[in-house]
A and B are shown apart, each in its own frame.
Chain A
């Protein structure tokens, strides 16, 4: 059963100011508790993306052969486990070389500067079954 709140009583009147009483007692100040040990770092919040990307190195024509060598090596690793036929591998390898090569500028910029040979796909010998 819900108890009803007491009825509000009316304000009867304002009494005269009473004399203040003295402070009887002050309780002692409690001792300062010891510093608690810190808890471990629970985690690190995600860093805000700065939106700034580092400048990347531009390849030059002088690095062409080295790049082609790496393309051959990485292609051998990738296709070594089998999968696509040799002709398709050659196609992919040649295409990557062409794409990379197209961005390698000769720093001479001279019309008479002899250009290295074009990227040529290797002739793939088909096995006769």
Chain B
């Protein structure tokens, strides 16, 4: 084996594949990577070749193959799928089809693409074909699937509200007023989770790091809040707002003292 084919050390110390092994991995998974690009194109009513998703998917596949570390025990497809999806999506967003969609006659489609792209950032598991199930669920029951869909609908509504409000049109604020009123009634920590994720664009992991808490605490709180919002929006009855789970109670207590953390309450005041 020559020096070029020698096992290289990745920055974190684990061994990666040789160039030959990486190339074989690319050949083996090329069809699979292309199917990811086609799925993204299909969802967004685009052409996977002419809109450049094919090239982006292949580049991501090659990148992942070169950096893949078998010793970590993660299967290659599990490691690469999300990255290939991200690359395909980014290529789609740079394409002329995407730009035309925002300005063209079918604005709803263009806006829906933008909205769904942001939704993929909030729920990255969608890129791997998984729904945001409750933490203790495997997704085998219809109830789990419906629960996950509800989270997505509420999440998408938030993103739409934020995009609408950013246009500063009073009508846009009024369209989402009921939802914002419900959110403004939540505990400060819940409001802040929603603000950071949907308004500031942070991942749930980023929020957890900022609050120096376990990521699962934030994920669970986020899901519990979305589940409540769905139920509240689906009925005219006033439901009891969700209590803060033990994982974030300490942070909740600190935030209660800081009135500025009731961010949606302030937002509503500014726009109504």
Contact = CB atoms under 8 A, between A and B. Distances in A.
Interface of A: 46, 49, 51, 53-61, 67, 70-71, 74-75, 77-85, 87-88, 90-106, 108-111, 115-116, 118-121, 124
Given A74-B149, A82-B178, A102 B89 contact: yes
Contacts of A90: 108
Interface in B2-39: 31-32, 34-36, 38-39
A91 to B, nearest CB: 6
Report the 5 A-B pairs with minimum CB-CB distance, sorted nearest first: A118-B45, A95-B115, A102-B43, A98-B116, A101-B43
B126 A103 contact: yes
B160 interface: yes
Interface stretch (B60-68, B151-159, B201-209): B151-159
Interface of B: 31-32, 34-36, 38-40, 42-45, 85, 89, 106, 108-109, 111-113, 115-116, 119-120, 123, 125-131, 133, 135-140, 142, 145-146, 149-150, 152-154, 156-157, 159-160, 164, 175-176, 178-179, 214, 216, 230, 233-236, 246
B109 to A, nearest CB: 6
B175 A58 contact: no
A99 B106 CA distance: 18
Given A77-B234, A95-B119, A59 B152 contact: no
- The binding surface of chain A is classed by DSSP as loop
Contact of B130 (A87, A103, A118): A103
Nearest to A115: B42
B36 A105 contact: yes
A88 B112 CA distance: 10
Contact of A58 (B32, B45, B130, B160): B130
Given A59-B131, A78-B234, A92-B153, A102 B39 contact: yes
Contacts of A108: 35
A119 to B, nearest CB: 6
Given A91-B112, A118-B45, A96 B153 contact: yes
A81 B236 contact: yes
Contacts of B153: 71, 74-75, 78, 92-93, 96
